Amino acid sequence: MELEDFFALVHPAIAIIVVFPLIGIVTNRAWLVRQRRLQVIDGEKSKIPPIVGSEHVAIGNWLSISVVGVALLGMAYPIFSKFLKNDVFSKDSLRAFSVVAIFIATTAAFTFLFKAKVKIWRNIFAALTSVGLIVLGAQPEVFRRDSEWFFSHYYYGIAAAILMIISVAITQDIYKDKQNRWRNIHIILNCFALLLFIGQGMTGSRDLLSIPYSWQKEYLRPCDSKTRTCPKSTAFYIPIDR
């Protein structure tokens, strides 16, 4: 396998090996947290240990880190492979180095989100991380499937990453709010995030199917994806008697 093809597989492989198992664990703990809380409200003696709450949050933090990480990686591959192929670092060095700076700034803002204790700073770092992801996604090298945004791996991925960032930012609000408004907002947003994750599994597999090996690309270039046809060339046929 060519190195280029190997790098294309790093993002999907990490998503499958790291992100999806974490989604399973976090969802399981979320269900237990809810069951336990409702049982306690009803005055029942719950068999679910109280630790499920802190386990949900601790693994939730890792889920958030891994989702933002794979989203950055998913955009880094097409951006930098096309930068190198089209020599963008010398032809449009201002944009190329700005993109590098935005990757670094987004990672830094996301790191500070976990360190910040004051609410306003948590909101600022959450907003900066989200804006960073959107600006990187706006680069022409990223395939956004704008005409089919409702089934686009890019839009689902960025939306899911932002929902994970919001979850981290509102953690303290969920605990402090005695009326459970933030808790209910969190449940609604993250049930939607679960649907987006299912969508990521489907759209990611579809996109993987449509990307050929690097050695196949030049043969597939004449194909038209709109009419779903390839030119019939005698070069493709090998006579049977040879």
Residues near ligand HEM, by CB under 6 A: 8, 11-12, 15-16, 19, 23, 26-27, 30, 33-34, 37, 53, 56-57, 60-61, 63-64, 67, 70-71, 74-75, 77-78, 142-143, 153-154, 157-158, 160-161, 164, 167-168, 171, 174, 183, 186-187, 190-191, 193-194, 197, 200-201, 204-205, 207-208, 211
Least distance from ligand HEM to the Cβ atom of residue 240, Å: 37
Secondary structure of 57-84 in HEC code, one letter for each residue: HHHHHHHHHHHHHHHHHHHHHHHHHHHH
Rounded to 5°, angle at Cα 126 from 123 and 132: 135
Q: How far apart are CA 109 and CA 106, in angstroms?
A: 5
User: In the numeric block, which tokens belong to residue 173?
Assistant: 């609000």
Nearer to ligand HEM, 71 or 99 (CB): 71
Nearer to ligand HEM, 93 or 184 (CB): 184
Least distance from ligand HEM to the Cβ atom of residue 124, Å: 18
Which of 210, 1, 222, 208 has the alpha carbon at shortest distance from 236? 222
Least distance from ligand HEM to the Cβ atom of residue 158, Å: 6
Nearer to ligand HEM, 208 or 229 (CB): 208
Rounded to 5°, angle at Cα 114 from 187 and 8: 80
Q: How many CB atoms lie within 10 A of CB 97?
A: 11
Least distance from ligand HEM to the Cβ atom of residue 50, Å: 8
Nearer to ligand HEM, 128 or 193 (CB): 193
For residues 112-121, one letter each, b for 16 or more C-beta atoms within 10 angstroms of the residue's C-beta and e for the rest, the string is bbeebeeeee
Least distance from ligand HEM to the Cβ atom of residue 21, Å: 12
Nearer to ligand HEM, 89 or 139 (CB): 139
